[in-house]
Amino acid sequence: MTVQANDPGLSISAGSGTRIRPLLEWFARRAEAVAIGLVAILIGLALFSLFILVIGKSPVTLFQLMYTGGFGSWFSVQNSLSRAAPLLLTALCVALPARLGLVIIGGEGAVVLGGVAAAAAAMPLLGLVPPAVLFVFMGLAAMVIGGLWIGLAGFLRHYRGVNETISSLLLAYIAIALMNQFVEGPLRDPASLNKPSTRPLPAEYMMGDIPGMDVHWGLIIGILACILSWILMEATSYGFAARIAGGNVRAAQIQGLPVGKLITGFTAIAGSFAGLAGMVEVAAVQGSANASLAAGYGYTGILVAFLARHNPLAIIPVAILLGGIDASGGLIQRRMGLPDATVLVLQGTLFIVILFCETFYGRFRIFDPDLWKRSA
């Protein structure tokens, strides 16, 4: 929430929405986010290098391996993109409410229930409709359930004063219990003896890969969702109203903005994206809903959203970066004999440093749009 209150973008875009801004002013504002972000990543990597030195390994080898594993070849790039795909959607589940000043951390719940809803919606339609139509129904079912789930946290926050961070997290546990109940009970495929699952989608009903790539369609869906969210936030009156509510709830209420509807609506949209991530997992990866849906994508999405400063467009490169770190983690384990936790240490270090560097926004005059406005 404090992140949003300090966000210089809010007041400026609010005040300058009607006139054309000079190019330099525009550039300075964005250069600040890029420069501070990059410096933060460099500081984070430097601290992590110290950690690696302390445990007696070579940071140079490590970073070489990270590059090889994450982005060093076409295979590695596709590996990173595959891992980034679900994070795009789950990060939106955190980023959109954050623009309203809410901290939603329970996207995992919407992912798993979205997956179950998608699998359940698919069953009666198999064989009756072509795959493309089936995907629409599966996606709608997942988005409705995911939207209801996270929308509930937003609703409770505004109308009952329940802390949305806690409620969304607790709802995630309930969601996982519900998923287990459904896949072990009414929706269980009797053939899935030792790994309870819903009936698998036939191969011809799987979503498949993007042509020419070894990455499933979830990546395209995620990128489109990020672009649509950015337009919603930055170029519509709804997004504008939401940002005002996020900046100062009372001011928004005095202006007559429907804060309660905005909060419920935007949390529901956010949840529907996480639900869609669950649908993609079922339709493009797993083929059925089962406990593997609770793979932590909802939680990694929190990290992605914060690193992207809740900017839907910035989520795209950040998710790919984290996908790359994740992809290279395996190579680090295999080649350097380091435990899996090494990558978690890196992610944690980056996270802390980037949040710390938030305090530098507005501290450097060179990035001050007013400076460039005057000189221009």
Partner 1 sequence: MTKLLSMNRRNFLQTSAAGALAGMMPGLAGSPVSAQTALTIGFIYVGPKDDYGYNQAHAEGAAVIKAMPGITLVEEENVPETVDVQKTMESMINLDGAALLFPTSFGYFDPHMLAMAAKYPDVEFRHCGGLWQEGKHPANTGSYFGYIHQGQYLNGIAAGYASKSKKIGFVAAKPIPQVLQNINAFLLGARSVDPAITCQVIFTGEWSLAVKEAEATNALIDQGSDVITCHVDGPKVVVETAAGRGAFVCGYHANQSALAKDKYLTGAEWAWGNVYTNFIKAAQSGGKLGNFVRGGLKDGFVKMSPLGPAVSAEARKKFEATLAEATAGKLSVFKGPLKDNKGNVVITADKAYAEDAIDLESMAYLVEGVVGSTS
Residues of the shown chain interacting with partner 1 in the complex, contacts defined by CB under 8 A: 68-69, 73, 75-76, 79, 82-83, 85, 177, 180, 184-185, 193-196, 200, 216, 281, 285-287, 290-292, 295-296, 326-327, 330-331, 333-334, 339-340
CA 243 to each of CA 7, 117, 247, 319, 360: distance values in angstroms, whole numbers, following the listed order: 10, 31, 6, 23, 22
Q: Strand, helix or coil at 201?
A: coil
Q: How far is the CB of 242 from partner 1 (least distance, A)?
A: 32
List alpha helices for 186-296, DSSP H.
Answer: 218-235, 237-247, 249-254, 259-280
Cβ atoms 157, 229 nearer than 8 A: no
Q: How far is the CB of 292 from partner 1 (least distance, A)?
A: 4
Q: How far is the CB of 194 from partner 1 (least distance, A)?
A: 5
CA dihedral 364, 367, 371, 376 (to 10 degrees): 160
Cβ atoms 30, 367 nearer than 8 A: no
Q: How far is the CB of 201 from partner 1 (least distance, A)?
A: 10
CB-wise, 216 or 309, nearer to partner 1? 216
Q: How far is the CB of 334 from partner 1 (least distance, A)?
A: 4
Q: How far is the CB of 78 from partner 1 (least distance, A)?
A: 8
CB-wise, 130 or 339, nearer to partner 1? 339
CB-wise, 94 or 283, nearer to partner 1? 283
- Rounded distance, CA 268 to CA 162, Å? 16
- Rounded distance, CA 7 to CA 36, Å? 14
CB-wise, 167 or 286, nearer to partner 1? 286
- Rounded distance, CA 79 to CA 213, Å? 10
CB-wise, 153 or 327, nearer to partner 1? 327
CA 58 to each of CA 44, 262, 321: distance values in angstroms, whole numbers, following the listed order: 16, 50, 22
Q: How far is the CB of 326 from partner 1 (least distance, A)?
A: 7
Q: Is the dihedral of CA 12, 272, 224, 299 positive or negative?
A: positive
- Rounded distance, CA 207 to CA 310, Å? 29
Q: How far is the CB of 72 from partner 1 (least distance, A)?
A: 9
Cβ atoms 140, 80 nearer than 8 A: no
CB-wise, 163 or 181, nearer to partner 1? 181
Q: Is the dihedral of CA 213, 214, 217, 220 positive or negative?
A: negative
Cβ atoms 303, 211 nearer than 8 A: no
Please return the burial class of 122, using the count of CB atoms within 10 Å of its CB with bins 0-12, 13-18 and 19+: buried
CB-wise, 196 or 246, nearer to partner 1? 196
- Rounded distance, CA 65 to CA 335, Å? 8
Q: How far is the CB of 315 from partner 1 (least distance, A)?
A: 19
CB-wise, 40 or 294, nearer to partner 1? 294
CB-wise, 54 or 203, nearer to partner 1? 203
Closest CA to 72 of 344, 346, 341, 327: 327
